[in-house]
Structure 1
């Protein structure tokens, strides 16, 4: 790999910035100053430092975001801010994207990465990846609704795969419910439409988990962090290079 490509992957700056850093003799390869952008290095064996700080090359990066309402789960949008607007320069430089989508008013767990193979595996219908949501409902969900979810709710354009509906709390006076819903698909507005098919309405929706990843209770809305080594290890179940 060329040295300038390595430095660019590490997010140290633009091509112009990298040329300036090299000319300023701030970059070393295995302890020796290197000024040539074309210098060939082994990113797995050579030690590259910038101004005395060792740089670690990463092909793929992974971020866990507690998505707030009001943002689009996309890399760009003409009318609304996107989840990428929350990220720092390094994450955007790595060209991460959301794995799956949450509606603009839905909040909770969202994985962002630049690993396309992992995203494809996690979203593939063949993998049957569980997605768990907690929802506040206008109306009282019943055991009959749970049975309907388990049998597969028929919507106008498709029939949902069997899903799990657990009733966590009901308030007859307020005519409200709190439920946990587990689905294996992720079609447009699916959870809201399934609840609507039962004659009720979702008034708040939060994603708690996706596959092995759980929403971090220490992340406030809008905050994000890198995946932990344990979380990364849990993604090995999808059988793609991480």
Structure 2
């Protein structure tokens, strides 16, 4: 694979394409110890040696991060009002990372951050029915009748009922606060909250704990992240 030197450096977050062109003109970039002829010069990633201001710049084609999303930030790449999930990934190399799917601003838990568009499509496509499991605290006593209803599908005000979902009751407190796990096979807007509203209850805390084969690392505190392991990347790519 060959890349233009300006694209290579822009992909690695050195600057915009126009900024990189200026760096090249100012002789701040070298390819194999020689100043490139221009921004259009082709190089071979991880074969040619690229430096910027004397520092080696290695090329990373894909990045995969697991974030334990905290409440209060938005699942977006940019936002004028709120901190975004990308603001937490301070060791990223690429500039084109994005969150795979969205969690509400007040929802915590597993979020995959990557630049792998093909993988994101596989995980998010409605036709793939990728399982997503949530832990929630719910106002009201969740009952076995609710378990049966969720398995049949719930009317959340759309044309069709939700797909069958697996509801597990973990605990019900004397104050009628229920702790549950819910696995759904789709990702409609505010779906978990709307499903419980449909049976007369209210979600007061929500956390995603898994998505497909990817399970939230219990050692990650809200706002913490880490790179996916090679094994985790292989698992989530298995169906591709």
TM-score (norm: length of structure 1)? 0.86
Q: 1 or 2, which has the higher helix percentage?
A: 1
Residue 164 (structure 1) aligned to one of 163, 166, 174: 166
Tell me the secondary structure at the aligned position of residue 85 of structure 1.
Answer: helix
Pairing 1:143–2:147 present: no
**Structure 1 residues 77 and 54 mapped into 2: Cα distance closer, same or farther (>3 Å)?**
closer
Partner of 2:218: 217
Cα deviation for residue 28 of structure 1 reads: 4.0
Partner of 2:191: 190
Cα deviation for residue 22 of structure 1 reads: 7.7
Partner of 1:27: 30
Cα deviation for residue 17 of structure 1 reads: 5.6
Cα deviation for residue 26 of structure 1 reads: 6.0
Q: Are 1:7 and 1:18, in contact at CA under 8 Å, matched by a contact in 2? A: no
Gaps of 5+ in 1: none
TM-score (norm: length of structure 2)? 0.86
Partner of 1:46: 48
Gaps of 5+ in 2: none
Q: How does 1:171-186 map to 2 (within 5 A)?
A: 171=173, 173-186=174-187
Q: How does 1:1-242 map to 2 (within 5 A)?
A: 1-14=3-16, 15-16=18-19, 19-20=22-23, 23=26, 27-29=30-32, 32-36=33-37, 37-43=39-45, 45-49=47-51, 54-88=56-90, 90=92, 94-157=95-158, 158-171=160-173, 173-239=174-240
Q: Are 1:66 and 1:220, in contact at CA under 8 Å, matched by a contact in 2? A: yes
Q: Are 2:124 and 2:130, in contact at CA under 8 Å, matched by a contact in 1? A: yes
2-11 vs 132-141, which moves further: 2-11
- What are the superposed Cα offsets for residues 162-207 of structure 1, whole Å, 9 maximum, x if unpaired? 0000111111x21111100000111011111111222211110000
